[in-house]
Amino acid sequence: MARWQPNASERLALAALDLFAERGYENTTVIDIAERAGLTKSTFFRHFQDKREVLFGGDTMAELLAQEIAAAPATAPPLEAVALALDAVGREAFTAARRALGARRRAVIAANPELREREALKGLRLTASMADALKRRGVPDVPSRVAAELGALTLRIAYERWSDAPDAEEFGDVARRALGEVRAASSTSLG
């Protein structure tokens, strides 16, 4: 165990990544993961609904994005509210400790159809969570959904760049730059 002491859900995710690498995803059970993390099966199921979910952090990200969009200044237009939410992702979720796991996590997901399906569903949930939070701010349906899609795309582009990058640039900065590119592309060059 590293000196950095993650909480139960991070410990479970780390244990799962280790076991998936050692034995393969199919040959690892929820009990194996809980034992490796020094926790019980019931603790596992308090955090995650099933084995797949351990790599996706439950609903934490969707809730964080919705909460930050709700907390944005009333005058912030939709994409600025999304930008503030991405800043919060950088502060609270995609920290330096998480970056070290990014490449392993992505490799496991890429190798398992079940995990790719779960990742796709999580992506839809993030997008829906952002769109709903924007609608609650009074943004109409289509602009809310467009801003949420552009926000989700920005999150994916920024995550790819950030988890691939050897340097120490923080997620929030990578995300702000990616959002600038997405915004420029959507407003001018698509025809």
Decide if residue 58 touches a second copy (CB under 8 A): no
* Radius of gyration in angstroms for the set of CA atoms belonging to the chain, rounded to a whole number: 18
Pick from 143, 161, 170, 176: which binds a second copy (CB under 8 A)? 143
Decide if residue 117 touches a second copy (CB under 8 A): yes
Non-local (6+) Cβ contacts of 173 within 8 A are 90
| 3-class DSSP state of 51 | coil
Non-local (6+) Cβ contacts of 97 within 8 A are 4, 6, 10
- Of 5 and 189, nearer to a second copy (C-beta) is 189
Pick from 66, 89, 118, 155: which binds a second copy (CB under 8 A)? 118
Pick from 21, 100, 107, 121: which binds a second copy (CB under 8 A)? 121
**CA geometry: angle 96, 97, 102, nearest 5 deg:** 90
Decide if residue 108 touches a second copy (CB under 8 A): no
Kind and range of the H or E run holding 29:
none
Options 28-36, 40-48, 97-105, 149-157: segment touching a second copy (CB under 8 A): 149-157
- Of 90 and 151, nearer to a second copy (C-beta) is 151
Binding residues for a second copy restricted to 151-180, rule: CB under 8 A: 152-153, 157, 178
Q: What whole-number distance in Å separates Cα of residue 176 and Cα of residue 75?
A: 19
Burial of 4 (0-12, 13-18, 19+ CB in 10 A): exposed
Binding residues for a second copy restricted to 71-90, rule: CB under 8 A: 76-80
Decide if residue 123 touches a second copy (CB under 8 A): yes
- Of 37 and 155, nearer to a second copy (C-beta) is 155
Q: What whole-number distance in Å separates Cα of residue 111 and Cα of residue 122?
A: 17
Options 11-19, 62-70, 104-112, 140-148: segment touching a second copy (CB under 8 A): 140-148
Q: How far apart are the first and last CA of the chain?
A: 53
Task: Give residues in contact with a second copy (CB under 8 A).
Answer: 76-80, 116-118, 120-121, 123-124, 142-143, 145-147, 149-150, 152-153, 157, 178, 181-183, 185-191
